[in-house]
Structure 1
Amino acid sequence: MVPGEAAARPTSRARRHDPGRRDRIVDACLDVLAEVGVAGTSHRRVAAAADVPLGSMTYHFAGMDELLREAFGRFAREAAAQFERRMVEAATPEEAVRAVTLLVTHDVFATQRDLVLSHELYTLAARDPAYRTLTNDWMRRSREALGRHFDPTTCRALDAFVEGMTIHRALDTEPHDDADVLDAVRRLTGVPAPGDA
């Protein structure tokens, strides 16, 4: 054997320990979706964004549909959790009214990324019943959170108001007045301003 021959032989590479890889892929998928939409999202783009080998995509997910469901599911669960936190923190009807107002003015679609992801999910849900389960669960959790303070009919109206008003505020080119949102929430809930009761 020639000296140094053994060192020249290729050795098998140890598998990289990366326990958070699947989560990183899901997070990267959301970033790619926000940037290029569902139509532009591919395994290659997500792998590059997650800084993982392309083969990791098929190792962790059966296909793009499974990855999209996982990513949008995470997004919807996080949005619903924020909704729930706001409503749990409210201890009085007045605080509940102000919590709903903050959901519209600060939380729902707080960033352009959230707005785009929401609309990408809505479009998928409109076409594919499998994604409707995600949006239905999101709406159910929102109404349950509102139900800590309001009756079921009011909850449905408030949930629709939050969704619709946030879309209008996100897309409108005119400036917004948060006081208008607060006034509308009072009208829907019947909770008067302090001193008006």
Structure 2
Amino acid sequence: MPAAQRRYDPDRRARILQATLDVIAAHGTAGTTHRRVAAAANVPLGSMTYHFAGMNGLLTEAFTLLADTVAARFRERLAAASNLDEACEAVVDLILDESWATPRTMLLSYELYAFAARNPPLRRVMQDWMAKSRAALAQHFTPGSAKALDAMIEGLSIHRSVDLQPADRSEIRAMVDHLVR
């Protein structure tokens, strides 16, 4: 009987991380298992332990991918602003634009907050994400304003995901102006 040939699959690790986020979105962090992730990524179960030391490592890397992806969109939007007024509009867009604050991304963010609260080493992912957000904001705003705006963006995004009457564009712009002027 001939030996089984290994399948060359250079994207397997990345696919596993994306599948992990899909499984977290569908089942929560507590319901995420190696078996579910392997099935979602369409990889053999053994690939899970080959690529990741354990579930905490897998979850940490998946949440890092989420944070880096959102931070990159955040940075790109703020980098497009060429003056303070455009930077303020960028902040409003970041709160209102559902291209990054999708229901899925918000759900994954909630899972990350809860998981980080229970797993102190994962707080580093949150801290790095905050640092990247504040650095993007600091291109246009003072460090104190950048910190306040970052918290406001996060808070208003969360509120928008559950509020029956979320703040509209003009209300949010007034809040941004109040913070930076």
- CA distance, structure 1, for counterparts of residue 77 and residue 180 of structure 2: 17
- CA distance, structure 1, for counterparts of residue 116 and residue 142 of structure 2: 27
Identity of aligned residues (%): 50
Residue matched to 2:73: 82
- CA distance, structure 1, for counterparts of residue 56 and residue 41 of structure 2: 18
Q: CA deviation at 1:109?
A: 5.3
In structure 1, list runs of 5 or more residues that go unmatched. 1-9, 191-197
Residue matched to 1:4: none
**TM-score scaled to structure 2, two decimals?**
0.96
Please list the CA deviations of residues 95-121 of structure 1 after superposition, one character each: whole Å capped at 9, or x if unmatched: 000000000001585211101110111
Asked whether 1:164 is paired with 2:155, we answer yes
Please list the CA deviations of residues 115-165 of structure 1 after superposition, one character each: whole Å capped at 9, or x if unmatched: 111011111111222111000010011111111111111111111100100
Q: Which among 20, 28, 52 is matched to residue 11 of structure 2? A: 20
Residue type of the partner of 1:63? Answer: G
SS of residue in 1 equivalent to 2:97 = helix
Please list the CA deviations of residues 16-45 of structure 1 after superposition, one character each: whole Å capped at 9, or x if unmatched: 111111110011000000111100000000
Is the CA contact 2:70–2:100 (under 8 Å) kept in the aligned structure 1? no
Q: Which among 92, 104, 112 is matched to residue 95 of structure 2? A: 104
Is the CA contact 1:29–1:71 (under 8 Å) kept in the aligned structure 2? yes
Asked whether 1:128 is paired with 2:115, we answer no
- CA distance, structure 2, for counterparts of residue 11 and residue 141 of structure 1: 52
Residue matched to 2:64: 73
Q: CA deviation at 1:92?
A: 0.5
SS of residue in 2 equivalent to 1:98 = helix
Q: Which among 21, 24, 44 is matched to residue 30 of structure 1? A: 21
Q: CA deviation at 1:176?
A: 4.4
Residue matched to 1:92: 83
In structure 2, list runs of 5 or more residues that go unmatched. none
SS of residue in 2 equivalent to 1:39 = coil
Is the CA contact 1:147–1:155 (under 8 Å) kept in the aligned structure 2? yes
- CA distance, structure 1, for counterparts of residue 13 and residue 166 of structure 2: 41
Q: More displaced, 173-182 or 154-163?
A: 173-182
- CA distance, structure 1, for counterparts of residue 164 and residue 100 of structure 2: 16
**TM-score scaled to structure 1, two decimals?**
0.88
Residue type of the partner of 1:84? Answer: R
Distance 1:189 1:103, change over 3 A: same
Residue type of the partner of 1:52? Answer: V
For the aligned residues, what is the CA RMSD? 1.3
Is the CA contact 2:73–2:100 (under 8 Å) kept in the aligned structure 1? no
Is the CA contact 1:43–1:57 (under 8 Å) kept in the aligned structure 2? yes
- CA distance, structure 2, for counterparts of residue 138 and residue 149 of structure 1: 18
Q: Return the index of the structure with the highest Cα Rg.
A: 1
> Which stretches of structure 1, 4 residues or longer, exceed 6 Å deviation after superposition?
none
